RNA sequence: GCAGAGGUGCCGGAGCGGUCAAACGGGUUAGGCUUAGGACCUAAUGGCUUAGUGCCUUCGCAGGUUCGAAUCCUGUCCUCUGCACCA
């Protein structure tokens, strides 16, 4: 086994020492290639990381070799709960824990041979970075995009902190699929992502992202078109605004429903006979996650007036109404909305039919579910007999002109809750003063550093750190309290790609000019799990910072590529409990980086899931060895036309495949090329080949490049160009002819079941290509090549044979047939001549010493 | 329930109107090399067949379009992913 480990090390050190991947803004043709921000977990690099970085690195290297000024940076998203928890568990300070984790991570990443500009490295847990988190937080605050609000928020008991909407999946915490999120009423910091709902939606079609991700974001932002309608509260001047997408059903409203979390519920009910009952209801309603909770509600003792009919409708409070969507109150039309229908049935509320389908008549008494389809309005005053779509418009028009409502758009996207009740994150730069209220920390006082001497126990250790909490109010200088919450780590990753353009700027988060030069990210590679988290926040940030005048950019990521997952050999997700985890480092030790890189991308298209395979990595290792040994032993000379054809064709196809991240297909073509190589090859072609494999296997590429007499780095060489003149389909045809001839030789041999001592192959005298040589070469494994001799067939036949190749190219299915015989079997063959001719459509003439090929048929003779 | 993606040979996985019994890899079988094993190299690997430019059957299932379908259309079953009380 060649020790590729040493070769890996040699070149990794050399690249780093010569800083060959460091870039600046001098060269114009830029390309920003980025893999999603790494969270440096204490357990080090796993196969998924290795895959992600390999996919990105191959692309970055390809772009470098194509003359681009490639920014390919790396950094660490080092704040966060897992580090904090792991540190507590190991009884180490999170800072120490994280630092050693990063150190380890860097070491492991380097072993993959990644083309990073290491000089730009930063970590978010360093105050040099999070200072700018705080700075940007304050800028957003000044711009009115950060606010504090008391509301019902999601709390994960395992994380012991609140979560953003995006971090709750199916009622569970995104980190703990076994942990139900609890709703808590708390005052928290929010970022107004909702301000950009429409723009986030509008730009989606322009992005070169997987359709799936765009679709997920579209759903997440969730735009609905409808109307805002004002209901008067009975015995009051108050108005209740509701949002509906079905203004056409307004005549069918039989009740209104407040969300139980709506702050107005208690207030509305306080002077009614129901107040105790409602209070009891609100207090005792079991907390259940939304999907499995039953609709529970209660009449709150008040009535509202339908603006169109002036009818009184009762008001309820229920758990099925989402508190922070639209106004948190809905108008209920049980006849035409399934949820309202179920609720009305349960509480015996009247159901009023206002839309009849165009076919068939509905009857309220017989209805078993709401009718939500289209139809004609009935029982709807002057709007009756209108088509319901028309009625939507007409009713909105009417509401508008009578100031009872208006057309309205609603989005599902909520504002981003960024407070976290944890230690290992960026302190929120706010101060609470009894006199002045909320006071932002002045810019000059940044960064607010995380205190290192703290006591971990239950809850947020910052709350017990007096050193941290106690502060003078920046305004009135009296004693005040610091905010002890830290920022969601998604805040850190929302702008890190901007910082990479100017990683070590001490005066600003980044230089606008640099961002304008490098951004947008031209290729962003990572998993799809961030579709509705990081990828939404980062888009929001970009737009917000643009509006703050900090950059000129609408969208941060031009192209997004989702790589798949590497599963264990058993096809399941790699996990410790399953015991199917494969350690990339151990693999690197055994096979070297190039083999691992090649394995990871040769299984399947990189956007698909694939499984680890012990034989697969072996096979990649074999390919690497084969390439290495071939180039090492290749005789520099003239490349045969056959290999030239293959090489140029491969360059052409591999280039296209790389451009489209079809690494698996590119590697197949490279494999075929390697198999077609001959001992002799020109230096130039050898060099082209080494360049061709460089993005995949940069270490052996450098080693071989050096070996064939080059001093510079192949990683920085220009990508090979193919010569279309060298690509000749005729040669492929010849190749096929040879393969078929050999096949025939084997078949005849099988037939006569005797090992031949000598093979005579008759071919045309003036055959353009040296068929015999090629056949000899190919058959050297089976026979002593000296035993294959060329027999010349007469001119008349030869001319016909010469026609074969062009006609074959035109119609590859009509392959010329080669005829074989063997001395011992000669007689039987002779006897069967007629049959052969008939069955196999062969024109053969058998004589004692030779088999004469008839037009179009070369012949082979065993002696 | 709604919306997306997909079902290909022993396995992974290409192909996405004709050159397809279907790339490439793995596995298996046979042969070469070798003291032996490994590595390496070669061939075979849907069925039939006394050599295939042969026949038959295959690309989830059932139909259809076409001179021609793994590839296009319709229906159907299954798998995976995402969203699920957003009014």
* pLDDT confidence of residue A787: 42
- Helical segments of A225-374, H only: 264-269, 275-284, 338-347
pLDDT of A829 higher than 60: no
3-state secondary structure A460-519: CHHHHCHHHHEEECCCCCCEEEECCCEECHHHHCCCHHHHHHHCCCCCCCCCHHHHHHHC
Average pLDDT for residues A212-220, to the nearest whole number? Answer: 91
Residue closest to B31 C1′ by Cα: A782
Task: State which residue has its Cα closest to the C1' atom of B41.
Answer: A781
First vs last C-alpha separation in chain A: 43
For A32, residues 6+ apart whose C-beta sits below 8 A from its C-beta are: A70, A71, A497, A518, A519, A520, A521, A522, A523
Q: What is the mean pLDDT of residues A74-99?
A: 92
Token match 């997987």: residue?
A: A210
The answer to whether the C-beta of A269 is closer than 7 A to strand B is no
Instruction: Round the average pLDDT of chain A to a whole number and report it.
Output: 84
Residue of A332, A299, A302, A331 lying closest to A316 (CA atoms): A299
Predicted local confidence at residue A852, as pLDDT: 36
* 596-625 on A, CB < 7 Å from strand B: 603-605, 608-611, 613, 615-616, 618-619, 622, 625
The answer to whether the beta carbon of residue A527 comes closer than 7 angstroms to any atom of strand B is: no
Which nt sits closest to A343, CA to C1'?
B85
CB A432 within 8 A of CB A472: no
- pLDDT-based confidence at A777, cuts 50/70/90? low
- CA–C1' distance A785–B28 (Å)? 30
Nucleotides of B under 7 A from a protein CB: 3-5, 12-15, 19, 23-27, 31-32, 39-44, 50-53, 82-87
At residue A804, the pLDDT reads: 37
Give distance CA A665 / C1' B14 (Å).
8
Give me the mean pLDDT over the A704-722 stretch: 95
Task: Tell me the average pLDDT across A100-127.
Answer: 96
What gap in Å lies between CA A145 and CA A163, rounded to an integer? 19
* A418-428 per-position pLDDT tens digit: 999 999 999 99
- In this structure, are strands A168-169 and A172-173 parallel, antiparallel, or unpaired? antiparallel
Task: Write out pLDDT tens, residues A544-588.
Answer: 999 999 999 999 999 999 999 898 888 888 888 778 889 999 999
Taking the CA of residue A540 and the C1' sugar atom of nucleotide B15, their distance in angstroms comes to 41
- Residue A651 CA to nucleotide B11 C1', Å? 30
Q: Say yes or no to pLDDT of A432 above 60.
A: yes
User: What is the per-residue pLDDT across A631-657, written as a single tens digit (0 to 9) for each?
Assistant: 998 889 999 888 898 999 999 999 999
The answer to whether residues A323 and A261 touch, using CB atoms and an 8 Å cutoff, is yes
Q: What is the pLDDT of residues A451-476, one digit of tens each?
A: 988 888 778 899 989 999 999 999 99
Spanning CA of A571 to C1' of B60, the rounded length in angstroms is 21
Distance A562 CA to B60 C1' (A): 28
Residue-level pLDDT at A847? 32
Q: Determine if strand B comes within 7 Å of the CB of A832.
A: yes
Task: List strand B contacts in A 436-495 (CB < 7 A).
Answer: none
Closest C-alpha among A444, A382, A94 to residue A251: A382
Distance, CA of A78 to CA of A80 (rounded, Å): 6
Closest-lying nucleotide for A529 based on CA to C1': B82
pLDDT-above-70 percentage for chain A: 84
* Distance of C1' in B37 from CA in A753, Å: 29
Distance, CA of A444 to C1' of B18, in Å? 74
- Position A714 scores a pLDDT of 97
Lowest mean pLDDT among A407-421, A527-541, A574-588: A574-588
Per-residue flag: A743 CB under 7 A of strand B: yes
The four Cα atoms A156, A158, A161, A164 give a dihedral, to 10 degrees, of -40
pLDDT of residue A535: 95
Q: How far apart are CA A739 and CA A778, in angstroms?
A: 8
**Residue A627 Cβ under 7 A from any strand B atom:** no
Q: What is the pLDDT of residue A578?
A: 79
- Reference A157, options A130, A136, A178; nearest CA is A178
- Bridge partners (DSSP) listed for residue A169: A172
Q: Which of A191-200, A279-288, A800-809 has the lowest mean pLDDT?
A: A800-809
pTM for the structure as a whole: 0.88
If phi > 0 it is left, if psi is from -120 to 50 it is alpha, else beta; for residue A355 that is: beta
- Is the pLDDT confidence value at A828 over 90? no
**Residue A302 above 50 pLDDT?**
yes
Q: What is the residue-wise DSSP string for A130-177?
A: HHHHHHHHHHHHHTT-EEEEEEEEEEETTTTEEE-GGGEETTEESS-T
Nucleotide nearest to A668 (CA to C1'): B24
Query: Which segment of A159-173, A188-202, A618-632, A722-736 scores lowest on mean pLDDT?
Result: A722-736
Instruction: Decide if pLDDT at A179 tops 50.
Output: yes
* DSSP-derived 3-state class of residue A36: coil
Residues 6 or more apart in contact with residue A524 via CB below 8 angstroms? A34, A35, A36, A557, A558, A559, A560, A561
**Contact, A679 CB vs strand B, < 7 Å:** no
């Amino acid at each position: 086994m060649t020790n590729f480990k040493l070769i890996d090390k040699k070149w990794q050190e050399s690249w780093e020492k010569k800083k060959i991947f460091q870039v600046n803004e001098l060269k114009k043709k830029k390309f920003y290639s980025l893999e999603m921000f790494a969270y440096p977990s204490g357990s080090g690099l796993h196969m998924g990381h290795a895959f992600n970085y390999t996919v990105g690195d191959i692309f970055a290297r390809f772009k470098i070799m194509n003359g681009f000024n490639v920014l390919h940076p790396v950094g660490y998203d080092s704040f966060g709960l897992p580090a904090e928890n792991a540190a507590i568990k190991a009884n180490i300070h999170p800072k120490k824990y994280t630092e050693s984790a990063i150190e380890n991570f860097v070491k492991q990443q380097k072993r993959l041979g990644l083309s990073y500009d290491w000089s730009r490295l930063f970590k978010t847990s360093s105050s040099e970075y999070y200072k700018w988190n705080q700075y940007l937080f304050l800028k957003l605050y000044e711009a009115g995009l950060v606010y504090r609000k008391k509301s019902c928020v999601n709390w994960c008991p395992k994380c012991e902190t609140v979560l953003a909407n995006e971090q709750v999946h199916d009622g569970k915490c995104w980190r703990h699929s076994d942990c139900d999120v609890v709703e808590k009423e708390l005052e928290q910091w929010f970022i107004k992502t909702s301000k950009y709902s429409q723009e986030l939606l509008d730009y989606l079609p322009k992005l070169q992202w997987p359709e799936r991700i765009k679709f997920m974001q579209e759903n997440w932002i969730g735009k609905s078109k409808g109307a805002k309608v004002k209901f008067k509260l009975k015995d009051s001047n108050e108005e209740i605004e509701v949002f509906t997408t079905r203004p056409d059903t307004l005549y069918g409203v039989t009740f209104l429903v407040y969300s139980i979390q709506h702050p107005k519920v208690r207030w509305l009910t306080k002077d009614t006979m129901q107040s105790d009952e409602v209070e009891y209801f609100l207090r005792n309603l079991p907390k259940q996650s939304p999907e499995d909770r039953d609709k529970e509600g209660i009449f709150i003792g008040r009535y509202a007036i339908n603006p169109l009919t002036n009818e009184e409708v009762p008001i309820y409070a229920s758990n099925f109404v989402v508190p922070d969507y639209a106004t948190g109150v809905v108008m209920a039309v049980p006849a035409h909305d399934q949820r309202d229908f179920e609720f009305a049935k349960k509480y015996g509320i009247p159901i009023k039919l206002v839309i009849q389908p165009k076919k068939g008549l509905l009857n309220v008494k017989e209805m078993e579910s709401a009718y939500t389809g289209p139809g004609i309005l009935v029982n709807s005053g002057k709007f009756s007999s209108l088509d319901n779509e028309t009625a939507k418009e007409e009713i909105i028009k009417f509401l508008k002109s009578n100031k009872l409502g208006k057309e309205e758009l609603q989005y599902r996207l909520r504002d981003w809750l960024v407070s976290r009740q944890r230690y290992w994150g960026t302190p929120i730069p706010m101060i609470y003063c009894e006199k002045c209220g909320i006071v932002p920390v002045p810019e000059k006082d940044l960064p607010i550093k995380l205190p290192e001497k703290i006591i971990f126990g239950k809850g947020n250790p910052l709350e017990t750190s007096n050193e941290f909490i106690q502060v003078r109010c920046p305004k009135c200088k009296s004693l005040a309290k610091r905010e002890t919450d830290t920022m969601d780590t998604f805040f850190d990753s929302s702008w890190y790609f901007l910082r990479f353009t100017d990683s070590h700027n001490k005066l600003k988060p980044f230089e606008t000019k640099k961002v304008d030069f490098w951004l947008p990210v031209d290729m962003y590679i990572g998993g799809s799990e961030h579709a509705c988290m990081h990828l939404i926040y980062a888009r929001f940030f970009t737009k917000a910072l643009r509006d703050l005048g900090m950059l000129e950019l609408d969208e941060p990521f031009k192209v997004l590529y989702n790589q798949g997952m590497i599963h264990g050999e058993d096809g399941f997700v790699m996990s410790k409990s399953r015991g199917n985890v494969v350690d990339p480092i151990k693999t690197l030790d055994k096979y070297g980086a190039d083999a691992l890189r090649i394995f990871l991308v040769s299984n399947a298209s990189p956007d698909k899931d694939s499984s680890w395979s012990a034989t697969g990595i072996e096979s990649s290792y074999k390919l690497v060895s084969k390439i290495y040994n071939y180039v090492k032993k290749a005789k520099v000379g003239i490349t045969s036309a056959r290999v030239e054809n293959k090489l140029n064709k491969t360059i052409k196809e591999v280039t296209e495949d790389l451009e489209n991240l079809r690494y698996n297909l590119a590697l197949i073509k490279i494999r075929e090329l390697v198999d077609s190589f001959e001992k002799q090859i020109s230096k130039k072609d050898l060099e082209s080949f080494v360049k061709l494999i460089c993005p995949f296997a940069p270490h052996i590429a450098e080693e071989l490049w050096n070996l064939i007499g080059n001093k510079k780095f192949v990683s920085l060489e220009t990508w090979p160009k193919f010569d279309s003149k060298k690509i000749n389909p005729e040669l492929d045809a010849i190749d096929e002819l040879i393969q078929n001839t050999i096949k025939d030789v084997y078949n005849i041999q099988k037939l006569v079941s005797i090992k031949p001592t000598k093979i005579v192959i008759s071919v045309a005298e003036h055959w353009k290509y040296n068929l015999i040589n090629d056949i000899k070469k190919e058959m050297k494994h089976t026979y002593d090549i000296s035993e294959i001799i060329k027999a010349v067939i007469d001119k008349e036949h030869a001319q016909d044979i010469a026609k074969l190749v062009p006609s074959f190219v035109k119609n590859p299915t009509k392959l010329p047939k080669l005829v074989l015989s063997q001395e011992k079997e000669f007689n039987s063959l002779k006897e069967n001549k007629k049959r052969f001719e008939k069955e196999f459509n062969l024109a053969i003439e058998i004589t004692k010493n030779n088999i004469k090929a008839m037009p179009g048929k070369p012949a082979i003779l065993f002696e």
